[in-house]
């Protein structure tokens, strides 16, 4: 798309908006519908972006390809920034149901085995090699929030969902916990009320 080349000269803060406009997108809206989401209550895992295939292909979130996403961050505009090994470790942007590659990004990503904290003070840990997401309460009680411990790529109820090398965590504006699922080359979402 011709307009995307022109976007590269714009300031970093307007780059994402220009890319979205060039592709007919808008601000980050609701996630694409997930097939087979049958969670009734409690934490639920679904895929936000990524086909699961190796690559660095931009485009529609469900068909885009990640090489090995290892960290995620959410900016003030609710856009999801993904640190992706491969392609010189450039940042991938998930916004408006689309995935883009950014040549430059101001976000300083943490290393894998990331942590995130919610408004109640609960701490969440990406147990990368245990293929689980752990939760520790302010009182110090640690439980498994999501993941069976086996490597896999299964959405659904958190207790039966599977991950492959989950590495990065970030909360979005709606309170969902996003996971950079490195081995599956996907961005997963954990919601806390079912569905």
In the chain, what are the domains? 2-27+38-191 (2.40.10.500)
Do the Cβ atoms of 163 and 184 come closer than 8 Å?
A: yes
Per-residue pLDDT, 41: 82
Do the Cβ atoms of 69 and 165 come closer than 8 Å?
A: no
For residue 6, is it left (φ>0), alpha (ψ between -120 and 50) or beta? alpha
Strand arrangement of the beta sheet that strand 166-171 belongs to: 156-157, 44-49, 186-191, 177-181, 166-171
Can you give the pLDDT of all 195 residues of the chain as single tens digits?
Answer: 333 333 332 223 333 333 333 333 333 344 444 445 568 788 999 999 999 999 989 999 999 999 989 889 999 899 999 988 765 667 899 999 999 998 888 787 776 678 999 999 999 999 998 899 999 999 999 999 999 999 999 999 999 999 999 999 999 999 999 999 999 999 999 999 865
């Amino acid at each position: 798309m011709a307009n995307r080349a022109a976007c590269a000269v714009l300031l970093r803060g307007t780059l994402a908006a220009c890319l979205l406009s060039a592709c007919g997108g808008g601000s980050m809206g609701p996630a694409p519908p997930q097939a087979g989401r049958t969670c009734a209550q409690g934490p639920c895992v679904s895929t936000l972006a990524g086909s699961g295939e190796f690559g660095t292909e931009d485009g529609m979130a469900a068909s885009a390809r990640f090489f090995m996403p290892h960290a995620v961050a959410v900016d003030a505009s609710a856009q999801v920034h993904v640190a992706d090994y491969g392609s010189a470790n450039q940042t991938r942007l998930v916004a408006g149901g689309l995935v883009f590659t950014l040549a430059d990004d101001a976000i300083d990503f943490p290393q894998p085995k990331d942590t995130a904290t919610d408004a109640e003070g609960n701490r969440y840990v990406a147990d990368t090699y245990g293929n689980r997401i752990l939760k520790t309460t302010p009182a110090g009680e640690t439980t498994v929030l999501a993941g069976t411990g086996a490597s896999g790529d299964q959405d659904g109820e958190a207790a039966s969902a599977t991950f492959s090398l989950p590495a990065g965590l970030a909360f979005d504006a709606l309170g969902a916990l996003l996971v950079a699922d490195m081995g599956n080359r996907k961005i997963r979402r954990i919601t806390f009320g079912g569905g």
